[in-house]
């Protein structure tokens, strides 16, 4: 269970939370919100964790049912929803853990989109920042295309190259 701190004291990235000890680890980091980006992972980490019901100090839990497919549908809507969730978390000083199954593709999509949205960083800089903190990332090519569209929407035409 490897957690990567993307923005100090606020934004964390990693794999599914599978055990109470992993949830306790997040609690020790001060995590108050969880954003689950994997369609196949049970709400709240399942009955043994109940994260969606406030267990382990989690104040808010959100699930975005994203599938890790090149042609996944609704990705742009989920990116917008995630950015709103993370903006609210930042406004309320609530450290947030973003995860998917392995912490390599879907959650990386969301975290990179948030860096583009919140810090106005181009995709290239957002990617480099995430990779520097979490080496084993591999967002699928469909997600990269979505990020390029999102970057253009947020920052304007021609920023992808910069």
Residue with tokens 């599914």: 16
Q: Which residues contact 148 (CB under 8 A, 6 or more apart)?
A: 123, 160
Q: What is the pTM of this model?
A: 0.94
What CA–CA distance (Å, rounded) separates 74 from 125?
25
- The answer to whether residue 106 is domain-embedded is yes
Tokens of 33: 């919100």
- The answer to whether residue 110 is domain-embedded is yes
- The answer to whether residue 160 is domain-embedded is no
What CA–CA distance (Å, rounded) separates 113 from 126?
8
- The answer to whether residue 34 is domain-embedded is yes
Would you list the DSSP string of 46-70?
Answer: -TTT-GGGTGGG--EEEE------T
- The answer to whether residue 104 is domain-embedded is yes
> In a 3-state reduction of DSSP, which class is residue 69?
coil
Per-residue pLDDT at 10 exceeds 80: yes
What CATH number is given to the structural domain containing 105?
3.90.190.10
Is residue 160 very low, low, confident or very high in pLDDT (cuts 50, 70, 90)? low
Average pLDDT across the chain, whole number:
93
Q: Distance from first CA to last CA of the chain, Å, rounded?
A: 34
- Overall number of domains in the chain: 1
- The answer to whether residue 162 is domain-embedded is no
The per-residue pLDDT for 158 is 57
Return the axis-axis angle of helices 106-119 and 75-91, rounded to nearest 10°: 60
What CA–CA distance (Å, rounded) separates 24 from 73?
33
- Burial (CB < 10 A; 0-12, 13-18, 19+), residue 96, is buried
Domain that holds residue 18: 4-155
Number of residues that this document lists for the chain? 162
- The answer to whether residue 84 is domain-embedded is yes
Across 31-40, 70-79, 131-140, least confident range: 70-79
- The answer to whether residue 33 is domain-embedded is yes
pLDDT digits (tens, 9 = 90+) for 40-90: 998 888 777 888 888 899 999 999 999 999 988 889 999 999 999 999 999
């Amino acid at each position: 269970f490897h957690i990567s701190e993307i923005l100090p004291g606020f934004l964390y990235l990693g794999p599914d939370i599978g055990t109470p000890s992993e949830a306790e680890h997040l609690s020790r980091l001060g995590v108050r919100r969880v954003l689950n980006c994997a369609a196949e992972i049970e709400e709240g980490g399942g009955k043994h964790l109940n994260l969606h019901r406030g267990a382990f100090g989690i104040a808010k839990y959100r699930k975005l049912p994203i599938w890790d497919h090149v042609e996944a549908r609704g990705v742009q809507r989920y990116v917008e929803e995630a950015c709103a969730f993370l903006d609210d978390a930042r406004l309320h000083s609530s450290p947030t853990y973003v995860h998917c199954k392995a912490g390599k593709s879907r959650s990386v999509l969301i975290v990179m989109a948030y860096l583009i949205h919140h810090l106005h960083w181009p995709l290239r800089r957002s990617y480099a920042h995430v990779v520097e903190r979490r080496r084993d990332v591999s967002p699928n090519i469909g997600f990269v295309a979505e990020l390029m569209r999102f970057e253009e929407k947020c920052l304007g035409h021609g920023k992808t190259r910069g």
